[in-house]
Amino acid sequence: MIAALLSLTLLGLALGFGLGYAAIHLKVEGNPLVEELEAMLPGSQCGQCGYPGCTGAAMALAEGSAPITLCPPGGRPLVEVLAAKLGVEVDLAGMADSGPQVAEVQEDLCIGCTKCYKVCPTDAILGAAKQIHAVFREACTACGKCVDVCPTEATRMIPLPATLQTWYWSKPEVAA
Amino acid sequence: MNPNHVGANSFARLANRVRMNSHLRGVHPESHKALSAEPPIRVLPLPERLFVPLQQHIGAPARHLVSVGEKVKKGQLLAASVGLVSAPVHAPTSGRIIAIGDFPGSHPSGLEMPTLTIEPDGDERWIESEPPSNPFALSPEEVALRVGAAGIVGLGGAAFPAAVKLNLSRRSEVHTLIMNGGECEPYLTCDDRLMRERASQIVEGIRLIAHATGASEILVGIEDNKPEAIAAMRTASFASPVRVVQVPAMYPMGSEKQMIQVLTGQEVPAGGRAADIGVLVHNVGTAFAVQQALRLGRPLVSRIVTVSGGAIMAPCNLEAPIGALAADLVRACGGLRSDAARLVLGGPMMGTQLSSLDVPLVKGSSGVLALTSAEVEQTRPGPCIRCSSCVSACPMGLLPLEMAARIRAGDPASAVDWGLKDCIACGSCSWVCPSHIPLVHWFNHAKGDLAARERLKMKNEATKKLADERSERMARIVREREEAARLRAAKKAAADAAKKAAAEAAAAAKAVEKAAEKAKEEVAP
């Protein structure tokens, strides 16, 4: 009895320390660039880039197999930070920038089917069965998932309206 | 400058000041103040409608407390302040609320803002109030509280809630209170007229502000192009701790940081506030509002506004209720000439260009200007010739041409390294630029752009958290479902097993019975 207890305890301790040592000293490093890139991406896992979520997109970006303009919700500001991070030259003139967008539920078309709020990756839609849904603009990443699932085309993307808190001077005209 | 103006105990400061003056930068635009400086302040005849915006200050918009159809008295609280930096709004006259909704405001964006529309009844009945018999007997906290409740904001133009500044100053133990009578913007004479006509009230307001902050040294800085105002303020402040100091007329002398530099010889550190060097700055108009609030119990519901410019028939200063339309003020000054080329709310250097005169006056509006095409230069910008006129003009010692070049190249972040955050947007650089480059417009654009990026970054972080929380929740739901299914399966298995066992037991019992019967039968014969 004592011999069995002792031998099992010793075995457990030895294996535990071994595993603990391995976890610290033999750690397999993930690509730190992937992590950094992922932190820059919106993180809504919308899949519009064609990759399985933002981690997949970050891996593709790190490998260089995806263009840095891949993320529609990130828009132009994201392209700029990605270009700076990856040291890539990018011609933004060609990229259509509709400015920041946000989803909107048109109340006269919404039938309260709850499909959109079930797919929203950031819980930005408030709704219940047979109730008109509404979008929290602060939480919406404009990923467009809700637009795809809406059976009545009640959800759509609109440019984020300027408010007194967000408006700022436009770019002045440059010398000819 | 005559040292007698400053008082005997401040030779060191005077020496400092002279030194600082030689470093002081700025511009000297034509003042045009003579247009409106002489006629005394008139009271604006009550307009037919008043449009009172809920956001007239820096900070959170006030929340309205009245409903459509409600009768209000003059000075009644219409909207309460929300949050730490905010200010309440009071009824500018007695009458009826006829609408609550969006109305074009005096914001440069032209965006509509939540506004209360009041139909005056013409009686001008004030609310009953009980002003303290001796406001100096109140504790500093109580004074700040009353200033906040009266909806007083900085009347020099920035409209920062005055009580917030008082509380901050008390906490950071300011020793010097500077009253800003600089009024360096061309055309504007509202502070000048106020100091000439109501100096004693202003001085009492100044002493109340000093009481609320505990400042021991009180200086009033007035530009030397307002000799009558200086004389009136000196007379009113005779034998009081308030000292009136004449400062050179130069734009932007009325800017807080420049005024501090001239009067104390100290510079506010980059990225810092006046309170960091123990100084609090208030506008003289704010002091008048403080006096009215504490002596008479009257909240801020009107202000002095300069109506001027070459396209105004009879320029003058009006005491107008908050919410009066710019058009009402212009009409009271004889209307517009036909050659008005530009309408401005505020001063010509930092004011807001208006597309129509149908915008309401707010607490921070110091002027309504109608300028002729001869007064405004409308020239297309040319290329930068690197003459560095803007560098010599910049009162903050920045390099506007370098900052603008970086912003133009699409890199506003690097303009921050060149001091963009210290730009006070005074517009001196644009004013001197021989190529008519709208430098200050570039800086305002860049500041907005950077703030928008910062907001986007914060939003991305917040939405990322939401997305993580959601995926976690989804995983938990799946896990819980699986667990429930497993539990159900286990229960079912247990029930089945029990049933089977029961059936087996029954079968066994039957077999035993049968065996017993058989035995009986065998025994019976």
Using a CB–CB cutoff of 8 Å, tell me whether B511 touches chain A.
Answer: no
HSE-up (13 A, CA, CB side) for residue A23? 6
pLDDT at B480: 95
Q: Is residue B1's pLDDT more than 70?
A: no
What does DSSP assign to residue B8?
Answer: G
Burial of B303: CB neighbours in 10 Å, binned 0-12, 13-18, 19+ = buried
- Facing residue for A122 by CB, picked from B61, B442, B467: B467
Q: Which of B437, B455, B460 sits opposite A166 (nearest CB)?
A: B455
Q: Give the pLDDT mean for B34-42.
A: 93
Q: Which neighbouring-strand residues pair with B277?
A: none
Looking at the complex, report in whole angstroms how far the Cα of residue B232 sits from the nearest Cα belonging to chain A: 40
| CB within 8 Å: B463 and A162 | no
CB-based contact B235:B196 (threshold 8 Å): no
Identity at B94, one-letter amino acid code: S
B452 and A168 within 8 Å at the Cβ level: the answer is yes
Which residues of chain B are within 8 Å of residue A122 when distances are taken between CB atoms? 463, 466-467, 470
**Is the pLDDT score of A100 beyond 90?**
no
Cα separation of B313 and B124, whole Å?
Answer: 29
Structural tokens at position B512: 């035993």
- Residues of chain A in contact with residue B467, where contact means CB-CB under 8 angstroms, are 42-45, 121-122, 141
Q: What share of chain A is helix, strand, coil (3-state, %, to 5)?
A: 40, 10, 50
51-70 in B: which are within 8 Å (CB) of A? 55, 61
Interface test with A, best of B460, B468, B473, B474 (most A CBs within 10 A): B460
Q: How confident is the model at residue A175 (pLDDT cuts 50, 70, 90)?
A: low
Asked if the model's pLDDT at residue B295 lies above 80, the reply is: yes
* Contact yes or no for B467 and A77 at CB 8 A: no
* pLDDT, position B3: 39
> Is it the case that residue B20 has pLDDT exceeding 50?
no
Name B525's Cβ contacts closer than 8 Å, sequence gap at least 6. none
Q: Residue B384, Cα to own-chain centre: how many angstroms?
A: 33
Which residues of chain B neighbour A164 with C-beta distances below 8 Å?
55, 61, 105, 107, 109, 111, 113
Q: Among all residues of chain A, which has the CA nearest to that of B55? A: A164
Cβ contacts (< 8 Å) between B442 and chain A: which residues?
Answer: 172
pLDDT of residue B105: 86
Query: Is B470 within 8 Å of chain A by CB?
Result: yes
- The minimum CA-CA distance between B482 and chain A, rounded to whole Å, is 20
At B181 the pLDDT is 92
Mean pLDDT value of segment A79-95: 75
Residue A103's contacts (CB-CB under 8 Å, 6 or more residues apart) are A124, A125, A135, A140, A142, A144, A146, A147, A155, A156, A157, A158
Distance CA B180, CA B223 (A): 10
Sort out which chain A residues have CB atoms less than 8 A from B109's CB and list them: 162, 164, 167
Tell me whether residues A168 and B448 touch, CB distance under 8 A. yes
- Single pTM value for the model: 0.80
Which of B56, B39, B37, B35 shows the shortest CA–CA distance to B303?
B56
Give the model's pLDDT for residue B19. 41
- Cα gap B382→B260, rounded to integer Å: 35
Q: How close is the nearest chain A Cα to the Cα of B444, in Å?
A: 6
**Cα distance from B85 to chain A (closest Cα, Å)?**
14
Per-residue pLDDT band at B451 (split at 50, 70, 90): very high
Is B445's Cβ below 8 Å from some Cβ in A? yes
CA distances from A75 to A144, B222, B236, B449, B453 (A): 13, 51, 61, 15, 12
Is a pLDDT exceeding 60 seen at residue B8?
no
The whole-angstrom distance between A61's CA and the closest CA on chain B is 19
CB–CB contact A170 B408 (8 Å): no
pLDDT at residue A66 in the model: 86
Q: What is the pLDDT of residue A95?
A: 57
pLDDT tens, position by position, B391-437: 999 999 999 999 999 999 888 888 999 999 999 999 999 999 999 99
Mind telling me how many Å the CA of A106 is from chain B's nearest CA?
Answer: 21
**Contact call for A167 and B111, based on CB within 8 A:** yes
- Is residue B11 very low, low, confident or very high in pLDDT (cuts 50, 70, 90)? very low
Chain A interface with B: residues with Cβ < 8 Å:
42-45, 77, 100, 121-124, 138-141, 162-164, 166-176
Is there a contact between A8 and A31 (Cβ–Cβ < 8 Å)? no
B460 contacts chain A (CB < 8 A): yes
Contact A168 B447 (CB under 8 A): yes
All residues of chain A having their beta carbon less than 8 Å from the beta carbon of residue B111 are 162-164, 167
Nearest to B237 by CA among B7, B3, B2: B7
Spatial separation of the C-alpha atoms in residues B212 and B163, rounded to whole Å: 10
Query: Do the Cβ atoms of B452 and A166 come within 8 Å?
Result: yes
Distance CA A149, CA A133 (A): 14
Mean pLDDT score, B172-198? 93
The SS3 call for residue B342 is strand
Please report, for residues B2, B11, B226, B230, B450, the alpha-carbon distance to residue B14 in angstroms, rounded to integers and kept in the order given: 10, 5, 21, 18, 40
Determine contact: B451 vs chain A, CB below 8 A: yes
Q: Is B464 a residue whose pLDDT tops 80?
A: yes
Mean pLDDT of B308-334: 94
A36, A61 in Cβ contact below 8 A? no
Supply the pLDDT for residue A90: 72
φ, ψ at B209 (rounded to 5°): -65, -40
Burial class (CB in 10 A: 0-12, 13-18, 19+), B477: exposed
Domains parsed from chain A with CATH numbers: 32-94 (1.10.15.40), 101-159 (3.30.70.20)
As a whole number of Å, the end-to-end CA separation of chain A is 94
Minimal Cα–Cα distance from A7 to chain B, Å? Answer: 35
Q: Do B437 and A173 touch (CB under 8 A)?
A: no
Of B163, B105, B146, nearest to B365 by C-alpha is: B105
User: Considering Cα of A61, then A65, then A71, then A74, what sign does the dihedral take?
Assistant: positive
Buried b (16+ CB within 10 A) or exposed e, A17-34: eeeeeeeeeeeeeeeeeb
Instruction: Say if CB A93 and CB A112 are below 8 A apart.
Output: no
Partner A contacted by B455 (CB < 8 A) = yes
The pLDDT score that the predictor gives to residue A98 is: 64
Residues in chain B with CB shorter than 8 Å from the CB of A169 are: 108, 441, 444-445, 448
The pLDDT of A31-48, averaged and rounded, is 83
Q: How far apart are CA B302 and CA B318, in angstroms?
A: 10
Kind and range of the H or E element at B118? Answer: strand B112-120
Q: Which residues of B445-475 are buried (b: 16+ CB within 10 A; e: fewer)?
A: bbbbbbeeeeebeebbeebbebbeebeeeee
B183 close to B221: Cβ distance less than 8 angstroms: no
Rg of chain A over all Cα atoms, to the nearest angstrom: 24
pLDDT score of B161: 93
| pLDDT the model gives residue A49 | 85
Given an 8 Å threshold on Cβ–Cβ distance, is A163 in contact with B471? no
For residue A149, the Cα-to-chain-centroid distance in whole angstroms is 19
| DSSP single-letter state for residue B3 | G
- Quote the tokens at residue A28: 């397999």
CA distance B81 to B60: 8
| CA–CA separation, B129 and B297 (whole Å) | 6
Q: How many CB atoms lie within 10 A of CB B302?
A: 22
pLDDT (0 to 100) of residue A52: 86
| DSSP secondary structure, B133-158, as one string | S-GGGS-HHHHHHHHHHTT-B-TTTT
pLDDT, tens digit, 9 for 90 and up, residues B482-502: 999 999 999 999 999 999 999
Phi, psi dihedral angles at B104 (to 5 degrees): -55, 135
Residue B23: predicted pLDDT = 64
Predicted confidence band of residue B322 (pLDDT cuts 50, 70, 90)? very high
Would the pLDDT of B240 be above 70?
yes
Cβ proximity of B89 and B54 under 8 Å:
yes
> Cβ of A172 and B113 within 8 Å?
no
pLDDT band at A96 (very low <50, low <70, confident <90, very high): low
Query: For B186-213, what is each residue's pLDDT tens digit?
Result: 999 999 999 999 999 999 999 999 999 9
Instruction: Give residue B316's pLDDT band: very low, low, confident or very high (50, 70, 90).
Output: very high
| Interchain CB distance below 8 Å, A168 and B456 | no
- The lowest-confidence range among A16-25, B70-79, B271-280, B452-461 is B452-461
pLDDT at position B96 over 90: yes
Q: Give yes or no for a contact between A140 and A100, defined as CB atoms under 8 angstroms apart.
A: no
Q: Specify the length of chain B in residues.
A: 525
Give me the domains of chain B, ranges plus CATH numbers: 3-120+135-332 (3.40.50.11540)
